[in-house]
Structure 1
Amino acid sequence: MFASKSRRVFTIFVLTLIVAISSVGLSSAQEQVTIYGMVNDAFARIWLENLVPAFNEKYPNIEVVIDPVPYGELLPKQLLELTSGAPSYDFIVTDDPWLPQLAATGLLMDLKTDLADVTDPDYNWDDFAPGALAAGEWNGGQYSVPVRSNLLLMFYNRTLFEEAGLEEPGEGYSWDDLAADLPQLVRDTDGDGTDDVWGIATYFGRDPLTPTIWQAIFNSNGGQLFDAELNPTFNTPEGIEALQYHIDLAQYGPPGVSAYTFTDTLEAFRQGRVAVMFNWGSVYHGVAINPETTSLTAEQVGVAPLPGGSAVDSSSHRGIWTAAIPREAANPEAAWTFIQWMTSQEGEVFTSATVGQFPARISTLTGEAPQDWLVDVFAAINAGYDAIGQGDMWRPRLPDSDGVQQILALHHSRAMTGDVTPEQALADAEAEIIEFLTDKGYYD
């Protein structure tokens, strides 16, 4: 049963007084209903403590129960949930590359068609940035909607650039510009003969997200992972050059940077030890605004898309969390009411201002920023959306995307550690991916 004591469930209970509301999607304005959601534990508590109370101010008759699940357990648990025949959850929040696999089960509702009759007339699907909304699309259907937009962005420490005598990155900043700046950003600031600030920190260690850095470099120079028939197209001189560039970045990082993934990268930057960080934009609030989590200030932290290459002026990589509703959910209309509120312009303005969550709506991004620090952030997100749209900068859109990403991560790691050359790593990845997709029936 869902409410088992063993579940890691945090609950926000609604007020006992039920007031009449004009909500869309409820059979009765005064009907009391409880909905259950499966959410990544990285932001489940933030939602519980901030989003749910704000939602309940407007919709006090919908109790929202959130089950926080660790990232590594989410996909298998969501697949099991959908195929069980009796879903315990009314909505699930899933990562960008997983949506095709979940939608391919046929067990998700098409939000545009299945829930059209209970969608607010002012919801305006066309207001979403196309690159963001596409994260929830599969085979012509809209099976989820962006609730926590995310992009790879470049964060830079203005103070360290200034101290090194360098101009901060601006419009048109390229991979060549970064390569020229990094050696000058590695410095001994206290004169003891040992470097104590470095040029860059980002994903270098073995992790499914590490290849996204290589892919951003590759995409910005016109490369793609696959062609229209799903034949790998990354084992090319351009792909090899992009991988070598990623490997070479590590020489300008702190000791041990070759093993860095998300957390190490974040710590190094917010402690002021590195001048440049490539990481997911959702960390901005924690590295530039919240004094409890960073030594830096908003004035010190610049933010922009990743550098550009020969094909695109800037680069990025999409990593958008979307919310979906199981076809057999017990309370789909109430779940859709919650999701609509969260993804409306009203909801996006609230979440941007209170928890630093990125919006996906054009009207939110181009409107007045609810906080001064969001002005530069919104500009970076806008530019990032343009970049991903121009360069198709996302992980493979196929039901077995996760398997492909694991193969890329393995062979990328082998090249990073020097076990094989970049040429050998990409050749091995290509062969293994072809075998994997053949076994899965992707090729005739």
Structure 2
Amino acid sequence: MKSTRLVAAVAVLGLAVAACGSSAEEVPADGGGLGTAQQPVSIRVIANDAFAKQWQDKLVPEFNKKYPNIKVTIDGIPYNDQLAKTMLELTGTTATYDAVLADDPWIPQLAKTGALYDLKGQELAKWNDPEYDWADFHATPLAAGEWEGKQYAVPVRSNLLLMFYNKSLYKKAGVAEPTDETTWEQYFADAQKLVQDTDGDGKTDSWAVGTYFTKDPLTPTVWQTVLNSDGGKLLDDKMQVAFAGEAGVKALQTQVDLLKYAPPGASTYQFNEPLEAFRQGKTATMFMWGSVFKGTAVDKETTTLTPEEVGITTMPAGTAGPGAHRGIWSAGISKKSEHPAAAWTWLQWVTSKQGEQFVGKEFGTFPARNSTLDGTPPADWAGPVYQALKDGYEVASKGQMWRPRLPESDAVQQILALQTSRAMSGQATSQQAIDQAAKEITELLKTKGYGQ
């Protein structure tokens, strides 16, 4: 009798332990629910600090008009810290964030953790909004959130590296405005005239170009786009180095040569410096992410220019056509989230037709949906910008103009950033920088088993 009771007690204990383990590992049947007025649900989102405050102050209140019982906190993280922090989040034992944002090349690395939901999969299907239109997304930005056949993230801030130009400075220099057919050869011929004295005091006060020049993971995207526009690739289909040759050297030298027509001290330019120079009318062109257009041509608090003065088009053409570099911010849902229903509901709304139109109007954010691109623009200035964006999407897709799509993408880009900065600063020739980058990336990829 005593033995029977012991067995029964052990069985009950075993069930209790199993139940405890199950509750710690399994998502509640309702996914944490969408909350009630008495018991709201709270979710946290890790985002980039460049736009996190905008989202918290304006986007979240708009979302809460429809979903008042989901409380959203947006945490802004500096760009150079965001990937590392997100990786720690996804590989850790506890979850701080329900949704994570990722730059274009980070998706494979984040997906490899196994900690992101497939947004088109069955696990989230029970919380799908029936009006959420996947087919409406343009294929180019949507592809940024894909990896090995699964959709781990969806575009929340679409972007392309494009060419801005100051129409007034072009006119003063007597130079025809650039188009999508302008070649790099023509661009450099024009650049000589665009370095000019605009006030007649005998001193140069306006230069041809500003862009990334110093060590930064985004600096190599300029010459990468040149490489792509000539039909070249960084890596081939077997993930082997494909830029170690004349095409790679020519592309890097093109970016180095831009310094000849840039303002004094431009070798230290990252993101803010070329932006400020262009907005102050000190440079005639700028190779920069198109999403800064509103702050560059419209918002009086940040620019001296007007929409009528600022043009935007694809980057100069190489032998294979014009250039553009894809840079999409996408967002995914963590499998560690205790509230995946609320997190997926939030993400669907932000990237819905309604949400995309709201952020386009309020923030000047570029759309990813065809219905937005082809519909009535949120403002007069957006019409030509959306056309440039559509052109750029096609160019980027055709030339595969994006950073490497592999889990080691960030490591590859860091190598390229260092060697690019050596060429920009004169510490190495373009040939030496390309050779060293090719050597280091080859060694990196070999240790990861590529091409074997």
| Paired residues of 2:166 and 2:311 also in contact (CA < 8 A) | yes
Instruction: Report the residue type matching 2:103 in the other structure.
Output: D
**1:160 matched residue in structure 2:** 169
**1:345 matched residue in structure 2:** 353
Q: Secondary structure of the equivalent of 1:123?
A: coil
Q: Secondary structure of the equivalent of 1:147?
A: strand
**2:200 matched residue in structure 1:** 191
**2:25 matched residue in structure 1:** none
Once the 2 structures are TM-superposed, how far is the Cα of residue 127 of structure 1 from its aligned partner?
1.3
Per-residue CA deviation, residues 214-246 of structure 1 (Å, 9 max, x unaligned), is 011110010000111111010121111111111
Worse-superposed segment, 263-272 or 28-37: 28-37
Q: Secondary structure of the equivalent of 2:293?
A: helix
**2:67 matched residue in structure 1:** 59
**1:18 matched residue in structure 2:** none
TM-score w.r.t. the length of structure 2 is 0.90
Q: Secondary structure of the equivalent of 1:308?
A: strand
**2:190 matched residue in structure 1:** 181
Structure 2: distance between partners of 1:33 and 1:216: 44
The 5-angstrom pairing of residues 25-424 of structure 1 reads: 27=33, 30=36, 32-113=40-121, 114-312=123-321, 314-424=322-432
Greater Rg, structure 1 or structure 2? 2
Structure 1: distance between partners of 2:228 and 2:176: 26
Q: 1:417 to 1:75 in 2, by over 3 A?
A: same
| Paired residues of 1:39 and 1:92 also in contact (CA < 8 A) | yes
Worse-superposed segment, 158-167 or 25-34: 25-34
Instruction: Report the residue type matching 1:173 in the other structure.
Output: T
| Paired residues of 1:25 and 1:336 also in contact (CA < 8 A) | no
Structure 1: distance between partners of 2:433 and 2:109: 27
Identical-pair percentage: 52
Worse-superposed segment, 239-248 or 386-395: 239-248
Worse-superposed segment, 246-255 or 29-38: 29-38
Worse-superposed segment, 389-398 or 64-73: 64-73
| Paired residues of 1:25 and 1:337 also in contact (CA < 8 A) | no
**1:19 matched residue in structure 2:** none
Structure 2: distance between partners of 1:342 and 1:162: 41
| Paired residues of 1:166 and 1:181 also in contact (CA < 8 A) | yes
Once the 2 structures are TM-superposed, how far is the Cα of residue 407 of structure 1 from its aligned partner?
0.5
Once the 2 structures are TM-superposed, how far is the Cα of residue 27 of structure 1 from its aligned partner?
4.2
Structure 1: distance between partners of 2:267 and 2:226: 18
Structure 1: distance between partners of 2:338 and 2:35: 18
Once the 2 structures are TM-superposed, how far is the Cα of residue 416 of structure 1 from its aligned partner?
1.5
Per-residue CA deviation, residues 147-200 of structure 1 (Å, 9 max, x unaligned), is 011111111000000111112112412212211211010111223322100100
Instruction: Report the residue type matching 2:51 in the other structure.
Output: F
- Number of aligned residue pairs: 420
Worse-superposed segment, 66-75 or 203-212: 66-75
Instruction: Report the residue type matching 1:273 in the other structure.
Output: K
| Paired residues of 1:155 and 1:304 also in contact (CA < 8 A) | yes
Per-residue CA deviation, residues 348-384 of structure 1 (Å, 9 max, x unaligned), is 1111111111111111101111111110111111011
Instruction: Report the residue type matching 2:205 in the other structure.
Output: D
Worse-superposed segment, 410-419 or 379-388: 410-419
Q: Secondary structure of the equivalent of 1:423?
A: helix
Q: Secondary structure of the equivalent of 2:326?
A: coil
| Paired residues of 2:34 and 2:342 also in contact (CA < 8 A) | no
Once the 2 structures are TM-superposed, how far is the Cα of residue 112 of structure 1 from its aligned partner?
0.4
Structure 1 segments (4+ residues) deviating >6 Å: none
Once the 2 structures are TM-superposed, how far is the Cα of residue 82 of structure 1 from its aligned partner?
0.9
Q: Secondary structure of the equivalent of 1:409?
A: helix
| Paired residues of 2:32 and 2:339 also in contact (CA < 8 A) | no
Once the 2 structures are TM-superposed, how far is the Cα of residue 26 of structure 1 from its aligned partner?
7.9
Once the 2 structures are TM-superposed, how far is the Cα of residue 28 of structure 1 from its aligned partner?
5.8
Structure 2: distance between partners of 1:108 and 1:389: 25
Q: 1:188 to 1:105 in 2, by over 3 A?
A: same
Instruction: Report the residue type matching 1:129 in the other structure.
Output: H
Structure 2: distance between partners of 1:84 and 1:46: 28
Structure 2: distance between partners of 1:358 and 1:45: 18
Structure 2: distance between partners of 1:339 and 1:253: 41
Instruction: Report the residue type matching 1:199 in the other structure.
Output: A
| Paired residues of 1:37 and 1:90 also in contact (CA < 8 A) | yes
Q: 1:330 to 1:424 in 2, by over 3 A?
A: same
TM-score w.r.t. the length of structure 1 is 0.92
Give the unaligned 5+ runs of structure 1.
1-23
Structure 2: distance between partners of 1:233 and 1:28: 49
Structure 1: distance between partners of 2:34 and 2:47: 27
Once the 2 structures are TM-superposed, how far is the Cα of residue 326 of structure 1 from its aligned partner?
0.8
Q: Secondary structure of the equivalent of 1:291?
A: coil
Once the 2 structures are TM-superposed, how far is the Cα of residue 131 of structure 1 from its aligned partner?
1.2
Q: Secondary structure of the equivalent of 2:389?
A: helix
Structure 1: distance between partners of 2:325 and 2:141: 11
Once the 2 structures are TM-superposed, how far is the Cα of residue 120 of structure 1 from its aligned partner?
1.6
| Paired residues of 2:34 and 2:70 also in contact (CA < 8 A) | no
Structure 1: distance between partners of 2:276 and 2:378: 27
Once the 2 structures are TM-superposed, how far is the Cα of residue 414 of structure 1 from its aligned partner?
1.3
Structure 2: distance between partners of 1:222 and 1:399: 24
| Paired residues of 1:25 and 1:119 also in contact (CA < 8 A) | no
RMSD value, Cα: 1.5
Once the 2 structures are TM-superposed, how far is the Cα of residue 415 of structure 1 from its aligned partner?
1.4
Once the 2 structures are TM-superposed, how far is the Cα of residue 25 of structure 1 from its aligned partner?
8.2
Once the 2 structures are TM-superposed, how far is the Cα of residue 322 of structure 1 from its aligned partner?
0.7
Give the unaligned 5+ runs of structure 2.
1-29
